[in-house]
Amino acid sequence: MSEEINKHDERGNLVYSKYSDGSNDIEYWREYDKNNNLVHSKNSKGSEEWYEFDKNNNRIYYKDSNGLERWQEWDKNNNLMHYKSITGSESWYKYDKNNNKIYQKSDDGDEFWYKYDESNREIYYKSSTGSECWSKYDKNNERIDITEQKLRIRMYLNNKKINRFEIMDI
């Protein structure tokens, strides 16, 4: 028989949880800032997480007890502009005047371009690997995608890129 206990603070934030199935019990404790953003959590197994936010409540920093760290930068319109992780992962983003993401570049060199119609619906996507996607919308505003994909295979040895194969149709 499993059991779940949840406790909330006066603002409705989940501050305590306990999950029990008889053999694998775990408890969680959570702390929030004045804007109800989760700023710290820990569990009974020893894991902890910390979060920091900017004045617009965008998460700008994350750290966990395993050593993972992430940083995020936001523009004045609350669009994610830059993401970086201690693992080496990094991405950059650009947006149009309507806050639609129009460009993304990752640390491995992959790039992505996006186009939108007058209703700000994505109508085209292209990647530097050769994949393309055209989107149309039916009378119910449901998205219909027509995709041409390419595959790029990468080989790694001890987390280092050792070879890069050419783009292949799949």
Mean pLDDT by 10 residues, the chain (170 residues): 93 97 92 98 97 97 97 97 95 97 94 94 90 86 74 47 42
The whole-number pLDDT of residue 149 equals 62
The whole-number pLDDT of residue 151 equals 52
User: The domain containing residue 56 runs over which residues?
Assistant: 1-67
Q: Are residues 127 and 60 in the same domain?
A: no
Nearest to 69 by CA among 54, 90, 55: 90
pTM of the model: 0.74
Q: Are residues 20 and 44 in the same domain?
A: yes
The whole-number pLDDT of residue 162 equals 41
Which of 34, 52, 67 marks a domain boundary? Answer: 67
Q: Are residues 97 and 142 in the same domain?
A: yes
Q: How many domains does the chain have?
A: 2
Q: Are residues 54 and 132 in the same domain?
A: no
Which of 45, 67, 89 marks a domain boundary? Answer: 67
Q: Are residues 111 and 128 in the same domain?
A: yes
Which of 67, 96, 118 marks a domain boundary? Answer: 67
The whole-number pLDDT of residue 155 equals 46
